[in-house]
Amino acid sequence: MKKNILVIDDDLDMRNILKKNLEEGGYGVFVSGDDAGAFSLLSRNNISLVLVDLVLKDTSGFEVCEKLRGGPHAGLPIIALSVSRRDEDVIRAIKCGANDFMEKPLDYRVLTAKIDSMLKLKEEEEELRLKGEELVRLMDSASLNREMLAQEADFTQDLNQFLDAELKKAFIGESFSTFLGARLFTIFTIDEGEREFRLFVSNHKDMPQNFVVPIDKKSVMYEVLKTKKPLFIDDFSTSRYRKGKREKYKSNEVCVVPLISADKTIGVLNVNDPGLEEMEHIDFEGRIVRISKHLAVSIHNTILYEKVKDLSMRDSMTGLYNFRHFVETLRLEIEKARRYDEHLSCIMLDIDDFKIVNDTYGHQVGDLVLRELARSVSLSVRSSDIPARYGGDEFIIVLPKTPKKRALKIARRLLDLFSGREIRVPSEKQVIAVTLSIGIAGYPVDTKSMDELMKLADDSLYRAKKDGKNRIVVH
């Protein structure tokens, strides 16, 4: 690129001679006879070097040098020209801002050499300045990255302290939004058997804890589930994934990231309203992808832990809770009922004449009947109820926040569903029908003691048996 030189000299002949010689040397040349015209040219053109005569009509070259050094063109190289050979003029010119000095008449070979040297030096200084700025930027970026990675390490360490699902959900719900720098988020896990996304945790206040989303092949979550790649959408409102209104969101930026652990997609992270303006120096997308890997492993470990814990609490034959877990749960639920002044009911049930079933058809058929009853119990109770196998053919259910009147409706539903229903026995090529007897007791209307509550429910069950079976008795 051609370098432009500005010549300031009030001698027209000298301006023309300088212009001719410098243009022959390959430079672009602008000329002015006074400082006003010179500064006008400077403001409108890309000037690389200034030649200024120290003796001008309206002002002196010394003043021009001072103006150049004190203004927006302070970095321009200046060569002062003068017929004077006095040392004091040379010293004054240098003090006023000139980089070099040449006597008139000029030796153009020497002048060209000085110009080339100064322009090369200026280029090297500019390159050094840019490298210095880049070094400062890289150091700042490295420092910021170290701080970000330290924050991520701290968050991951805190996250992995919790293996229990509820504790982990509470930690993520309280801290994840602030850590990530996004206003709203949801984390779903995948139930492939049911073909649905189940909410793990979210900070959406209007989203229920048991929220479930069917796996829709046209949804953005299915897209990242299929591709196993994160999706960053600048304007979700115009994307093909939008299906409804978005009043609760402040922006249209959406980030959807698959949660992959051991090469298996176990869930999806949705981020809305990321604070990109506040985090302009942070690799926001990189941070989400990095932290999603830690989230995936941590949540996967919690899912596996909950499965193992659940197995330890389950009866192996029926799949219902075992009696030991039931007692622990009942103790907690009674404490809650006492604290919040709520009702709680306990249902005890067993199969009428179950010994006859075992004696007639064998224990394998008896086990089949028990499993069918367990399935009917699971279908009859609510998600908040806790059914368990008490032992043998007896089952017990605790119903939190439920008065006996409501418990009676649930017991009737179970009786209608199971009692007298024909159960096919594959090996015998026949069907059998059994009936139930059910007893109900309530807290605190019947007792405030956990042990007595179970005893009263059992007593009611015994009375149902004594009164003719296939019936419900409420204490």
Q: Are 71 and 99 in contact (CB under 8 A)?
A: no
Torsion sign, CA atoms 98, 100, 103, 106: negative
Specify whether 338 is located in the same domain as 307. Answer: no
Domain's final residue, options 259, 288, 312:
312
For the cut 80, the answer to whether the pLDDT of residue 348 exceeds it is yes
pLDDT at 343 over 90: yes
Together in a domain, 102 and 189: no
Q: What is the pLDDT of residues 106-115, one digit of tens each?
A: 888 898 899 8
Which tens digits make up the pLDDT trace of 22-31?
988 889 999 9
Element housing 423 (H / E)? strand 422-425
Query: What DSSP state is assigned to residue 427?
Result: G
Report the pLDDT averaged over residues 266-274: 87
**Does 327 lie in the same domain as 288?**
no
The average pLDDT across 339-360 equals: 92
Q: What is the pLDDT of residues 50-96, one digit of tens each?
A: 999 988 877 888 988 988 888 888 888 999 898 887 888 889 988 99
**pLDDT for the residue numbered 279:** 47
327-356 average pLDDT score: 93
Among 312, 339, 358, the domain-final residue is 312
> Residue 144 above 70 pLDDT?
no
Please report whether residue 145 resides in a domain: no
Which of 312, 331, 360 marks a domain boundary? 312
Q: What domain range is 28 assigned to?
A: 4-125
385 and 296, same structural domain? no
Contact between residue 257 and residue 268 where contact means Cβ atoms under 8 Å apart:
yes
- The reply to whether 210 falls in a domain is yes
The whole-angstrom separation of Cα 170 and Cα 280 is: 29
Determine which helix (DSSP H) or strand (DSSP E) holds 458, and give its type and residue range: helix 450-466
> Using alpha carbons only, how large is the chain's radius of gyration in Å?
43
Sign, CA dihedral 417-419-422-426, equals positive
Confidence at residue 143, expressed as pLDDT on a 0 to 100 scale? 72
Residue-level pLDDT at 340: 92
**Residue 142 included in any domain:** no
301 with 385, same domain: the answer is no
For residue 162, the SS3 value is coil
Find the angle CA(93)-CA(87)-CA(77) to the nearest 5 degrees. 30
pTM (predicted TM-score): 0.56
User: Looking at residue 217, what DSSP letter applies?
Assistant: T
pLDDT given at position 159: 87
User: Quick check: is 132 in a domain?
Assistant: no
Residue 254 has a pLDDT of 86
Q: How far apart are CA 377 and CA 396, in angstroms?
A: 10
Confidence tier at 207 by pLDDT (50, 70, 90): confident
Report whether 440 contacts 396 (CB < 8 A). Answer: no
Same domain, 300 and 409: no
| 29 in a structural domain | yes
- Whole-angstrom Cα distance, residue 323 to residue 327? 6
**Residue 332 CA to chain centroid, in angstroms?**
34
**Per-residue pLDDT at 275:** 62
Quickly tell me which residue has 């924050």 as its tokens: 151
For residue 397, the surrounding DSSP H or E stretch is strand 394-400
Residue 347 CA to residue 359 CA, distance in Å, equals 27
Q: Is 155 part of any domain?
A: no
Q: Residue 141: inside a domain, yes or no?
A: no
Per-residue pLDDT at 327: 92
265 shares its domain with 348: no
In the chain, the amino acid numbered 181 is: G
The answer to whether 374 and 318 are in contact (CB under 8 A) is yes
Residue 431's DSSP bridge partners are 424
Spatial neighbors of 290 by CB under 8 A, at least 6 apart, are 152
Nearest CA to 224 among 194, 192, 269?
Answer: 269
Domain assignment of residue 385, yes or no: yes
Q: Is the model's pLDDT at 422 over the cut of 80? A: yes
Would you say residue 276 has pLDDT above 70?
no
CATH number of 444's domain: 3.30.70.270
Mean pLDDT in residue range 154-175: 88
Number of domains into which the chain is organized: 3
Beta-bridge mates of residue 269: 187, 257
d(CA 470, CA 334): 29
- Determine the pLDDT at residue 451: 93
Statement to judge: residues 377 and 235 lie in one domain: no
- Measure the CA–CA gap between 274 and 288, rounded to whole angstroms: 10
pLDDT cut 90: percent of the chain above it: 31
257 and 365 share one domain: no
Beta strands in 104-202 (DSSP E): 182-191, 196-202
| Closest by CA position to 400, among listed 418, 413, 381 | 381
CATH number where 268 lies: 3.30.450.40
CATH of the domain at 26: 3.40.50.2300
Quickly tell me which residue has 């900070």 as its tokens: 203
Of the pLDDT bands very low, low, confident and very high (cuts 50, 70, 90), residue 281 is very low
| Position 420, amino acid | G
